[in-house]
Structure 1
Amino acid sequence: MMSIKSWIHWCSLGLLWLVLAGCGWQLRGGGSYEGPKAINLVPEDRFAPLTLALVDAMHRSKVAATSDAPITLYLGDEELQKRVVAVTSIGSPAQYEMSLSATFRYQLHGDKTVAIPQVLSVERVFDFDPSATVAKSEEENTLLEEMRLELAQRILRQARHLAPLDGQAQP
């Protein structure tokens, strides 16, 4: 038999779940993908970190990477820019801004025109402590991986604007 305390606890959790679901809150990157179900991925470097992040994003969104897909994605190299945005009183860097960008273009199967390349970028600012260089280096690498995944997801989302999905008209 359930005690009143545990019953109240479960009711509170259920109410919290309903409130979060009702306001539209969802986990980051947890939205449903509404694009083509297959894409022909043609990267400049198939072992580049951005290419691997894009393959991961395609897998998570259940997008097949096949050469006979109706849409081809030509993925260029990523470009990372890092600049100091704040310094300490002794002149050492205290804060950096990182900008990760990539050039890509989509082309529909059978379309003879060359698609115009697009550039997307993701920016982040992070604090730097010269006395903890190893920890901050690991933090920078983790942040860069997150930026790549976000950039890959944004590139993938661009495909939904190209062609009707499964024979349906685009809104």
Structure 2
Amino acid sequence: MLKMAIAVVLTLALSSCGFHLRGNLPLSQFPAVYVQSDAHSELAELLNERLSQNSVRLLDSKQADAPTIQLVSDTLERRTLSLFPSGQVAEYELIYKVSYYLIMPGAEPAFNQFELYRDYQDDPNQALAKARELDLLLSELRQQAANRIIRQMARLN
């Protein structure tokens, strides 16, 4: 009985402090959103997927009464961090840059940009495995970028 009482008290304490599980964010203030991007943008596809998961209807064209996310660019840069004694690159820093406009109805477009960083160790003896690892890191960076844009929208009133 004591364990049950402790569980109930902890549950009430968590719910009263405003704690929410990560994942779906409250985007009820945006019933529909238009995402404008280059054709075949992987970041736009992930963003559309995240919006759909949050019960936001995706529009096929820009509408005056609906918010627009205009993805300007998403680029990946590599910077050398260290070298092997032979002169080959041993470690890179990956820099994923995203810039976008958040256009709310009746407001000026808000330009946002951010950078995400990851370290990547290269090994020329395992080129195929390292290429796959780089693809996975880039996919993870895109997912983080899409989540960050969604969080930015969720903060708006």
CA RMSD of the aligned region, Å? 2.3
Amino acid at match of 1:65: L
Aligned to 2:135: 141
1:131 to 121, 125, 131: 125
Question: Is 1:95 matched with 2:87?
Answer: no
Question: Is 1:115 matched with 2:117?
Answer: no
**Counterparts of 1:46 and 1:34, CA distance in 2:** 28
SS at match of 1:117: strand
- Compute the TM-score of the two structures, normalised by the length of structure 2: 0.75
Gaps of 5+ in 1: 1-17, 164-171
- Compute the TM-score of the two structures, normalised by the length of structure 1: 0.70
Aligned to 2:3: none
Q: 1:114 to 1:46 in 2, by over 3 A?
A: farther
**Counterparts of 2:56 and 2:138, CA distance in 1:** 24
Question: Is 1:31 matched with 2:27?
Answer: no
SS at match of 2:50: helix
Aligned to 1:13: none
**Counterparts of 1:128 and 1:158, CA distance in 2:** 34
